[in-house]
């Protein structure tokens, strides 16, 4: 059974005001793990200590993909943070044509061995632009995966995949053992990043997504932006997932 985490980007404004209070509130709601997206001015070791003090573990980290020259320093810092999995993403221009897709995959392939040498799982986090189709109807995402080292795993943002025009549950199922992490968000299924809802309140078929693939280890709540009070949506998202047997 997959476990529940939350992407810290969801509560970034609150964390910028008081990281300690934000982490404590997440734990009081019931979350037991977070995925980081920045360190709020702390060193990796200090962030690790802050999580431990709040009673939270680190499910994973989101960070930019380093080039090969910077890889050793990047993965050293991630080790100090306590991360065992990291999921960079890439901008839309990396999926504009076959040559760009090849460069994108090769950038990951170049640093994957360095990540592995540190005991860190390197994966890829999608948005919606990876699901553009070429004139033959083939997805840029599929071309990317064909060139990507099989050891590079996947964190599927299920909402953005659905926005991109694919069925998120079918996608997650089709990826088999290659997908270990999901981003779970909900909303009207469009590209706007500021109108997400509590999980279960939008148009996503969240239950189908949750049941799609037993290889998934973590279901990570991520709400990029919401109208109204964020903590209510964070709480209701946790309650929705925990009611379905996740912990």
Query: CA 79, CA 84: separation in Å to the nearest integer?
Result: 7
pLDDT above 90 for 1: no
If pLDDT is split at 50, 70 and 90, which confidence band does 216 have?
very high
pLDDT at site 116: 96
Nearest Cα residue to 41 out of 66, 12, 64: 12
Work out the average pLDDT over 70-75.
97
The DSSP element (H or E) to which 61 belongs, if any, is: strand 57-61
Work out the average pLDDT over 39-61.
98
Residue 185, SS3 per DSSP:
coil
Q: Which neighbouring-strand residues pair with 157?
A: 183
Percent helix / strand / coil, the chain, rounded to 5: 45, 15, 35
Residues 6 or more apart in contact with residue 188 via CB below 8 angstroms: 195, 197, 202, 203
Residues 6 or more apart in contact with residue 20 via CB below 8 angstroms: 50, 53, 54
Tens of pLDDT, residue by residue over 157-198, are: 999 999 999 999 999 999 999 999 999 999 999 999 999 999
If pLDDT is split at 50, 70 and 90, which confidence band does 244 have?
very high
pLDDT at site 133: 96
State the pTM of this model: 0.97
Work out the average pLDDT over 75-84.
98
**Average pLDDT score over the chain:** 97
Question: What is the domain partition of the chain in residue ranges?
Answer: 3-242
CA 45 to chain centre: 22
Q: Name the DSSP letter for residue 135.
A: T
pLDDT at site 165: 98
Tens of pLDDT, residue by residue over 86-135, are: 999 999 999 999 999 999 999 999 999 999 999 999 999 999 999 999 99
- CATH superfamily name and code, 3-242: Divalent-metal-dependent TIM barrel enzymes (3.20.20.150)
Work out the average pLDDT over 62-66.
97
The DSSP element (H or E) to which 7 belongs, if any, is: strand 3-7
């Amino acid at each position: 059974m997959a476990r529940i985490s939350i992407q810290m980007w969801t509560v970034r404004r609150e964390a910028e005001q008081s990281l300690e209070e934000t982490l404590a509130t997440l734990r009081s709601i019931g979350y037991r793990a977070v995925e980081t997206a920045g360190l709020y001015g702390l060193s990796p070791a200090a962030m690790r200590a802050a999580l431990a003090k709040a009673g939270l573990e680190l499910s994973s980290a989101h960070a930019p993909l380093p080039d090969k020259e910077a890889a050793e320093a990047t993965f050293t810092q991630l080790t100090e943070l306590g991360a065992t999995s990291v999921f960079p993403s890439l901008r839309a221009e990396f999926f504009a044509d076959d040559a760009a897709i090849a460069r994108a995959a090769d950038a990951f392939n170049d640093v994957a061995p360095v990540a592995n040498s540190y005991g860190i799982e390197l994966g890829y986090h999608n948005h919606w632009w990876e699901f553009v189709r070429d004139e033959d109807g083939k997805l840029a995402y599929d071309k990317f995966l064909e060139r990507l080292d099989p050891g590079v795993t996947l964190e599927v943002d299920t909402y953005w995949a659905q926005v991109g025009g694919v069925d998120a549950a079918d996608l997650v199922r089709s990826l088999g053992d290659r997908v270990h992490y999901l981003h779970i968000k909900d909303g009207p299924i469009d590209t706007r990043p500021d109108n997400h809802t509590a999980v279960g309140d939008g148009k996503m078929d969240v239950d189908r997504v949750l049941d799609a693939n037993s290889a998934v280890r973590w279901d990570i709540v991520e709400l990029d932006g919401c109208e109204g009070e964020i903590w209510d949506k964070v709480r209701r998202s946790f309650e929705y997932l925990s009611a379905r047997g996740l912990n």
